[in-house]
Amino acid sequence: MGSQRVSIGHRTDFLLDIVELGSAGLEKVAVWNSSEGLASARTTAPLDALADDGSLKNRTFIVLTALSPPYGMLKRSPNKLTGNDRFEGFGIDLIHELSLMLGFNYIFHLQEDGVYGSKGENDEWNGMIKELLEYRADLAITDLTITADREGAVDFTMPFMNLGISILYRKPTKLAPSLFSFMSPFSTEVWLYLGFGYLGVSVCLFILGRISPGEWDNPYPCVEEPEFLENQFSFRNALWFTIGALLQQGTELAAKAPSTRAVASIWWFFTLIMVSSYTANLAAFLTVESLSPTIGSAEDLANANGAVKYGAKRDGSTFNFFKDAEYPTYQKMYEYMKENPDLLTSSNPEGLARVKSDNYAFLMESTSIEYIIERECDVTQVNGLLDDKGYGIAMRKNSPYRNALSAAVLKLQEQGKLTVLKIKWWKEKHGGGACLRGSLDGKPKDLDMANVGGVFLVLLIGVSLAFWYGCCEFIITT
């Protein structure tokens, strides 16, 4: 008992030390006074948490979790659920597997504010870490990142999941096909050279047809010595012969002289290669849709100059990673987020909502991104990982059950059970695999007018010009 005051024979202001039998004897675990009530003063684990043989059998742990899909979620049920039955998720199943292996019991408590734990300016911890330090929980499991700061306050098991920071961003939007997308297989330069080649070969045929004796014919075979000869390769006919070969169509014209036949043969070979190349690429250009520009790395974000907004979870391990980073790009990104606190979010779902509704990129753990893109088909993960870290089960410093839990986690990993649990909660439960099922649909994409409209336009223009020319001929001749 501490100091006290006596008023009219009664103690009115006194202090009580509450002690408990611990491993080193009686230890002060709390303080009570008449003005402030009870305050915890525990500095070591309770005696019943320790065992000489390190066994966890029949021990009961208070396990702290948070609502963070798929690690911890409230179970959906038409019936009222109580106790551990209220929760489901990867972390819930992991604790269950560990309890079966080590023989301990557990009671789940929910971290109501969803704060995992960060150190404030006064060096005091909040969230789950604070609950552990103040002995209101024995273990904490969720997507709780193992960091140097947290390792200084609590202990972690070996990581049950390895991951890194990545970028969640909306998928590139599909651009409307070009009206003249049928011209896309060749570049503008190739089309120009093809046009010049067509004109050049036509002129060459016209000239060779004029200077080659074999191309001059007797228009009247019955007259042995006609007054004049005719030549089939007028400039108009040369153009017609060349375009017919280019479009893989025949004409009534046929080269007779060796020189014109040589030019025609080379032109046929050239058009064979060009038409084959065009046909091979045409299907791809008509069916593959162009995508809008997008970001491809953290450097793109840092150099976007505000064109693409980005942020992370406020006071989370991802934000602290950029805060402590020495890489210039990451320092630049931290300064941007620090100057724009409105771009930080209070939760991952809020970050996802911003990504879907705005030109916004959200920095978060890669495993959470994997979970999201299995269900949200309009977002994707950008590039690889920015760092390498892991999730672990947190407990108080120097906890005697740390080694046993770490060994059990390692054994589950070796048995492949952690992989089975990840597949269950990422790809199967609660809508997992929805986007994969859609992408595996083998139905070919139909071409619509947006893809081939330009061909119809060319047809319309060509027929219209031909009709106009025919009308002009009729008017002139009559």
Contacts of 70 (CB under 8 A, 6+ apart): 89, 90, 371, 425, 426, 429, 430
pLDDT (tens digit per residue) in 294-321 = 788 889 888 888 788 999 988 788 898 9
| Residue 477 is assigned to a structural domain of this protein | no
List residues forming the annotated binding site for L-glutamate: 145, 150, 317-318, 365
The pLDDT assigned to 335 comes to: 93
Tell me, what's the pLDDT at 30? 72
pLDDT, tens digit, 9 for 90 and up, residues 93-122:
999 999 999 999 999 999 988 889 888 878
Bigger pLDDT: 361 or 41?
A: 361
* Whether residue 37 is found in the same domain as residue 121: no
Verify that 192 and 152 share a domain, yes or no: no
- Percent of the chain surpassing pLDDT 90: 40
Q: What does DSSP say about strands 4-7 and 10-22: parallel, antiparallel, or unpaired?
A: antiparallel
Residues 292, 175 contacting (CB under 8 angstroms): yes
State the CATH number of the domain containing residue 103: 3.40.190.10
**Residue 459 in domain:** no
* Residue 26: per-residue pLDDT: 67
Residues of the domain holding 402 = 60-163+392-424
- The answer to whether residues 244 and 278 belong to one domain is yes
Q: CB neighbours of 262 closer than 8 A, spacing ≥ 6?
A: none
| pLDDT for position 281 | 85
Q: How many CA atoms lie within 13 A of 332 on its CB side?
A: 12
Direct distance between the N- and C-terminal alpha carbons of the chain, in angstroms, rounded to an integer: 129
**What gap in Å lies between CA 333 and CA 318, rounded to an integer?**
12
Residues 143 and 206 in one domain: no
- SS3 for the chain is CCCEEEECCEEEEEEEEEEEEECCEEEEEEEEECCCEEEECCCCCCHHHCCCCCCCCCCEEEEEECCECCCEEECCCCCCCCHHHHEECHHHHHHHHHHHHHCCEEEEEECCCCCCCCECCCCCECHHHHHHHCCCCCEECCCCECCHHHHHHEEECCCCEEECEEEEEECCCECCCCCCHHHCCCCHHHHHHHHHHHHHHHHHHHHHHHHCHHHEECCCCCCCCCCCCEECCCHHHHHHHHHHHHCCCCCCCCCCCHHHHHHHHHHHHHHHHHHHHHHHHHHHHHHCCCECCCCCCHHHHHCCCCCCEEEEECCCHHHHHHHHCCCHHHHHHHHHHHHCHHHCECCHHHHHHHHHHCCEEEEEEHHHHHHHHCCCCCEEEECCCCCCEEECCEEECCCCCHHHHHHHHHHHHHCCHHHHHHHHHHHHHHHCCHHHHHHCCCCCCCCCHHHHHHHHHHHHHHHHHHHHHHHHHHHHHC
What pLDDT does 370 receive? 92
- Say whether both 282 and 295 belong to one domain: no
What is the predicted pLDDT for the residue at 292? Answer: 57
Average pLDDT of the residues in 350-360: 91
Residue 399 lies in a domain: yes
pLDDT at 52: 44
Q: Is there a single domain that holds both residue 338 and residue 409?
A: no
Cis link prior to 219 (omega < 30° from 0)? Answer: no
282 and 190 share a domain? Answer: yes
Q: Which residues are annotated as a binding site?
A: 145, 150, 317-318, 365
Q: Are residues 416 and 347 in the same domain?
A: no
Neighbour-count burial of 160, counting CB atoms closer than 10 A to its CB (0-12 exposed, 13-18 middle, 19+ buried) = buried
Distance between CA 183 and CA 160 in Å, rounded?
A: 54
Residue 179 predicted with pLDDT over 90: no
Tell whether 242 is covered by a domain.
Answer: yes
Q: Are residue 277 and residue 296 in the same domain, yes or no? A: no
Does residue 410 fall inside a structural domain? yes
**What is the tens place of the pLDDT at every residue in 252-274?**
888 888 888 899 899 999 999 99
Q: What does the chain come to in residues?
A: 478
120 within some domain: yes
Distance CA 469, CA 79 (A): 82
Rounded to an integer, what distance in angstroms lies between the CA atom of residue 71 and that of residue 93? 9
What proportion of the chain, given as a percentage, has pLDDT over 70?
Answer: 85
Whole-number Å distance between alpha carbons of 367 and 374: 11
187 occurs within a structural domain: yes
Residues 88 and 148 reside in one and the same domain: yes
Question: Could you tell me which residue, 288 or 221, shows the higher pLDDT?
Answer: 221
CATH code where residue 267 lies: 1.10.287.70
Residue 49: predicted pLDDT: 45
Q: Letter for the amino acid at 100? A: L
296 and 283, same domain (yes or no): no
Domain boundary among 238, 266, 287: 287
For residue 354, tell me if it sits in a domain. yes
| Overall number of domains in the chain | 4
Residue 63 has pLDDT above 90, yes or no: yes
Q: Are residues 27 and 118 in the same domain?
A: no
